[in-house]
Each structure stands twice: as structure tokens, then as C-alpha cells.
């Protein structure tokens, strides 16, 4: 069993929000998997924050020596079960038997994305613990909208578009876009505000900070159970929002889910 711990955060390519209307010519399109981002450095499986995941030896033995970037996935709508599993240090090989590592890039590799995707397809073995996330070309905005409807109707989260001619680099990039019915982003919990009225004695809102250093409150989307036992300070959460202010602060931010405990 790989022992969990922390290392430096791995270099990752991060997506921006797609515009409402986009011509998909020149892009490769895949499903946005509702899973946990995972970076394989050839020896260790790490989260976005650098936490070493306690994956069973048999799972790790099926991964190549090359670095991989992808998403651990149990299937549509099963994020909570997966998030709980990858936090465990005592999970067995049978617990991980249905986990799929959906790989979408070769971080740090040379060549344009279409070439890296072809290289991944040549590397993967049928029935292995890791699979290449299928990428398709779509001919028109209407075809893109139709594909999004199909994924959403099937219980999926959305789509990811990657410029076929883009070179790999770390950081947030307009060469990688996520297309969802409601935009989302991430932030770190930095404190709490007390509730009032019916919520007296509970958390009224989370105080959070996003990757750009903007601080704001998230008061909606929290169940009473979460208000009694909120995500601790330092934990990463994901939230939905509707537009941004001129300074970039999300409008109508609503709590969605906690990402990685302790990260």
C-alpha cells in the first residue's frame, strides 16, 4: 500500500470556463468526469495539492513509468463515494477494483495535444487500470450543444475542450475549457461567520479565498448538517456562481461540495 503523505503540488494544466457559444473547430472534446484529479509521476499517485494517495500496490503496478494526468472515477454521480475512498489509508484492492483512472494528458511531454492524445492511445492496454479519456471532434456549435445535452441527460457533469494544436504547459489556460450548465470554481475555507435567527448557533457563511487571493462569503448551498459541522479551515471546496463583479468576485456563490480533506 502506498503510504499517504504530502509532497509539493504537481504541475497541472487547469481549465478556464468556456464561453456560452463556442465553435468547436480545432478543439478535441471529452466528458468532464465527476471524479478526483490525480497526477501520476511514475512512482506516486498525487492529488492536486500534492497529497500522496494510498492506492493499493496492484493498482499502482498497472501504471506506466511516464507521467500521467487524469481523473480517478467511479462513474457518473458517484463523486462522494470516490472522495471518501481516496481519503482512506486502509482501502483494499477490492475497494479500488471499480476505480478507473481516466487519463487525458501526458504532463510535460513534447508535441501538440492531438499528438499527445495519440501517444496515450498507443500506450494504453485494454482492460488496464488506466484508460484514455475519449476525445472527439465536433463540426459545429450545434453539434457541441447536442453532445453537452447527451452527457447531461445521462447524468454527466459537462464537457472539456482542449485545443488540438496546443503545447503542454502548467497553469490555468485558455487552451483548456470546461463547458457546464452552471460555472464553478474552487476556494479555500479561511473562516466562518455566525448564523442569525433560525441559524443562531450554526455557521451562517463560510469565509473563503480563491486562487487569485479574492476573499468573499458563501452562505447559500449549506445544509443544516454542514452548518453544524462545516468544512474545516484550510479545506478546499467547490462552489457554483452566476457571473462576477468588475473585480472578479463571484456573484451568488453557492456551496457545492468539499474536495480534499486536509488539502
pLDDT value, residue 4: 58
pLDDT value, residue 76: 92
pLDDT value, residue 3: 54
The single residue of 29, 30, 32, 73 carrying the catalytic annotation is: 32
Transcribe 2-52 into DSSP letters: PPPEE-PPPP-EEEEEPPSS---TTEEEEE--SSEEEEE-SS-EE-TT-EE
pLDDT value, residue 263: 43
pLDDT value, residue 5: 64
**Residues 215 and 140 occupy one common structural domain:** no
Task: Give the cell for residue 148.
Answer: 453537452
**Residues 153 and 100 occupy one common structural domain:** yes
The SS3 of residue 74 is: coil
pLDDT value, residue 205: 96
**Residues 112 and 216 occupy one common structural domain:** no
pLDDT value, residue 213: 94
What separation in angstroms does the CA of 248 have from each of 39, 48, 110, 188?
29, 23, 34, 16
**Residues 35 and 142 occupy one common structural domain:** yes
178 is catalytic: no
**Residues 144 and 214 occupy one common structural domain:** no
pLDDT value, residue 2: 58
pLDDT value, residue 237: 94
228: domain range? 184-258
Residues of the chain with pLDDT under 70: 1-6, 260-263
Single residue among 179, 214, 248 that ends a domain in this structure: 179
pLDDT value, residue 89: 87
Amino acid at each position: 500500500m502506498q503510504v499517504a503523505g504530502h509532497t509539493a503540488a504537481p504541475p497541472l494544466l487547469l481549465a478556464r470556463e468556456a464561453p456560452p457559444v463556442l465553435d468547436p473547430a480545432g478543439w478535441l472534446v471529452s466528458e468532464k468526469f465527476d471524479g478526483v484529479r490525480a497526477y501520476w509521476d511514475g512512482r506516486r499517485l498525487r492529488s492536486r495539492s500534492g497529497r500522496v494517495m494510498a492506492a493499493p500496490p496492484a493498482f499502482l503496478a498497472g501504471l506506466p513509468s511516464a507521467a500521467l494526468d487524469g481523473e480517478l472515477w467511479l462513474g457518473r454521480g458517484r463523486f462522494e463515494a470516490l472522495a471518501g475512498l481516496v481519503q482512506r489509508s486502509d482501502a483494499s484492492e477490492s475497494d479500488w477494483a471499480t476505480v478507473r483512472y481516466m487519463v487525458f494528458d501526458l504532463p510535460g511531454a513534447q508535441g501538440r495535444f492531438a499528438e499527445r492524445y495519440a501517444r496515450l492511445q498507443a500506450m494504453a492496454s485494454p482492460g488496464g487500470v488506466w484508460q484514455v479519456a475519449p476525445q472527439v471532434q465536433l463540426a459545429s456549435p450545434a453539434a457541441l450543444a447536442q453532445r453537452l445535452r447527451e452527457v447531461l441527460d445521462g447524468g454527466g457533469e459537462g464537457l472539456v475542450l482542449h485545443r488540438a494544436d496546443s503545447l503542454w504547459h502548467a497553469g490555468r489556460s485558455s487552451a483548456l475549457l470546461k463547458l457546464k450548465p452552471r460555472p464553478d470554481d474552487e476556494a479555500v475555507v479561511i473562516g466562518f461567520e455566525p448564523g442569525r435567527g433560525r441559524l443562531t448557533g450554526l455557521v451562517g457563511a463560510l469565509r473563503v479565498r480563491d486562487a487569485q487571493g479574492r476573499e468573499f462569503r458563501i452562505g447559500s448551498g449549506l445544509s443544516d448538517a454542514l452548518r453544524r459541522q462545516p468544512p474545516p479551515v484550510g479545506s478546499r471546496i467547490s462552489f457554483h456562481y452566476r457571473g462576477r463583479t468588475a473585480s472578479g468576485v463571484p456573484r451568488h456563490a453557492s456551496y457545492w461540495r468539499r474536495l480534499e480533506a486536509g488539502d
